[in-house]
Structure 1
Amino acid sequence: MACTQHCCGVTAQTERYRKVLWIAFTVNALMFMVEVIGGIRAGSVSLLSDSLDFLGDSANYLISLFVLGKAISMRAKASLFKAYTMGGFGVWIIGTTLYQFFYGTMPNYHEMGVIGIIAFAANVLVAVLLYSFREGDSNMRSVWLCSRNDAMGNLAVIAAAIAVYYWQSPIPDLLVALFMSYLAIKAAWDIRRQAVIELLTN
């Protein structure tokens, strides 16, 4: 009976996590479209960087849904793929930021601020839903880290919009983009390390 109750509990937990992942995927896919359009209109590299982060997270949530309930080795391999993807985004942001530094124009701080606030609200919603799953395997942890980093990045975008307004300079926008690249690369390193450990011990 105890085993049956345990199995039922695990199944219920898995189904709850699956529903949360579908919500997270939907929110991130919608926010990708909002931010990529807004980033182009505003001329903001930090918004464009964040839009690609939303796109990457959408793909990550789909991968997590695919491997949900599968062997831990399969989940760990998916985590490795996500880690390399996040790291790649981090490197791409650095390159884009350097390009904007030399050839970019002044971003629209009003659009940056408004879209940043909307994105922050969306990521807080997702992070709250995922909070109780943050201490799971590397795959669960990677999903939580993505959402946490996104919320932190959105706050930085809002701060950059305010700084651009007061200083009339694109530099705050570029600094935030670099900060977001650091978050992506650090999270990728942490996820990869845990995934490798799981592969070696299972």
Structure 2
Amino acid sequence: MPDSTHLSLPKDSNSKRLLAAFLVTVVFMLVEVIGGLLSGSLALLADAGHMLTDAAALLVALMAVHFSRRQPNARHTFGYLRLTTLAAFLNAAALLMIVIFILWEAVRRFFAPQPVMGTPMLIIAVAGLLANLFTFWLLHRGIEESNLNVRAAALHVLGDLLGSVGAITAAIIILATGWTPIDPILSVLVSCLVLHSAWRLFKESVHELLEGTPQEVDIHKLQKDLCLNIPEVRNIHHVHVWQIGEQTLITLHAQVIPPHDHDGLLRRIQAYLLEHSHIGHATIQLEYQHCHAPDCKLHQTAESGAHAHAGSHSPLEHHH
């Protein structure tokens, strides 16, 4: 059986960049929270919420690096990578609550404007922008050789630059015109960016926790392709596909013509799954009898046409 495709690990230099980026993001997120409370700026608080999305992405990437290096054991046969999904779910839920609070506060402030200190707001917003630029530079240096978690974190930080620009714009307008409603208006725009990231993260983490099929895997197409490309395969059923970290796993039953080389056919099916669907961890049960389960009958008619060249006999009759 081919080796399982485990989570690709960042090099040590990339791990250090992840940690440094995480610390910088958390520190300036706290600075923006304090600055937003002292200056009265909701835009700064919204940008801090956006920086929390960056911190969440970086934390998940760090957890993936750490837990992917811990060996599976008898109690956790797949290791601890599921903790990264759980962390993503908790972060997404927290972000959604933060967005709701900011939107509620923005509506309240729009109808009852509150004083905002433009100068401290501008200073902190510029510092936040510089922190985001530095964090993106740290991650961008290792993007080419790093794994998907690092790339995702870099994209989060790149998106957060818009939040910092929004806070700076609000501060300049307040200093120039004294029009404080711009602060809640821009906070709503930044919150929409946070909402988009948080909702996507929430859906993806829930889908993975529920053992959902990865989006890139089309089970019906996979069933047909196996039957079309491996002549001995007559039917694929009882298919279950799920994901742990970046590793896709599959279990399936294959009704086949009794082969001369059982292990050879098994290796061909596994090799096909690895090459065409990037599934390296496959558990396959070969069967020689007709399958009578409901999900078998759904595909037998279509798949029988793909095997017309094999004759109209059943697998056992063909074997005899």
TM-score category of the 2 structures, normalised to the smaller one: 0.7 to 0.9
Counterpart Cα distance in 2 of 1:47 and 1:40: 9
CA drift of 1:172 comes to 1.2
Greater fraction strand: 2
CA drift of 1:159 comes to 0.9
Higher RCO (CA 8 Å, separation ≥ 6 residues): 1
In the superposition, relative to structure 1, how do residues 149 and 18 fare at CA in structure 2: closer, same or farther (>3 Å)? same
The runs of 5 or more residues in structure 1 that have no matched partner are none
2:201 is aligned with 1:191:
yes
- Which of 22, 41, 46 pairs up with 1:44? 41
CA drift of 1:59 comes to 5.1
- Which of 129, 132, 135 pairs up with 1:123? 132
Read off the aligned partner of 2:30 and give its amino acid letter.
M
Read off the aligned partner of 1:91 and give its amino acid letter.
I
CA distances 1:142-182 after superposition (whole Å, capped 9, x unpaired): 53343123211000111111222233211111111001110
Counterpart Cα distance in 2 of 1:191 and 1:55: 13
2:178 is aligned with 1:168:
yes
The count of residues paired between Structure 1 and Structure 2 equals: 193
After superposition, the CA RMSD in angstroms is 3.1
Read off the aligned partner of 1:170 and give its amino acid letter.
T
The runs of 5 or more residues in structure 2 that have no matched partner are 69-79, 214-241, 244-320
- Which of 79, 104, 107 pairs up with 1:95? 104
Q: Report % sequence identity.
A: 24
Counterpart Cα distance in 1 of 2:212 and 2:160: 27
The aligned residue for residue 179 of structure 1 is 189
TM-score w.r.t. the length of structure 1 is 0.77
Larger Rg: 2
2:53 touches 2:197 (CA, 8 Å); kept in 1?
no
Higher alpha-carbon deviation: 52-61 or 162-171: 52-61
CA distances 1:68-88 after superposition (whole Å, capped 9, x unpaired): 253665434433333333333
The aligned residue for residue 24 of structure 2 is 27
Q: Secondary structure at the match of 2:116?
A: coil
1:29 touches 1:55 (CA, 8 Å); kept in 2?
yes
In the superposition, relative to structure 1, how do residues 56 and 199 fare at CA in structure 2: closer, same or farther (>3 Å)? same
Greater fraction helix: 1
2:167 touches 2:186 (CA, 8 Å); kept in 1?
yes
CA drift of 1:56 comes to 5.5
2:18 touches 2:150 (CA, 8 Å); kept in 1?
no
Read off the aligned partner of 2:130 and give its amino acid letter.
A
1:142 touches 1:191 (CA, 8 Å); kept in 2?
no
2:29 touches 2:51 (CA, 8 Å); kept in 1?
yes
In the superposition, relative to structure 1, how do residues 74 and 35 fare at CA in structure 2: closer, same or farther (>3 Å)? closer
Read off the aligned partner of 2:15 and give its amino acid letter.
R
Higher alpha-carbon deviation: 23-32 or 58-67: 58-67
2:105 is aligned with 1:107:
no
CA distances 1:34-73 after superposition (whole Å, capped 9, x unpaired): 2222222221111122234445644553343223253665
CA drift of 1:118 comes to 0.8
Counterpart Cα distance in 1 of 2:202 and 2:52: 20
1:127 touches 1:148 (CA, 8 Å); kept in 2?
yes
TM-score w.r.t. the length of structure 2 is 0.52
2:90 is aligned with 1:81:
yes
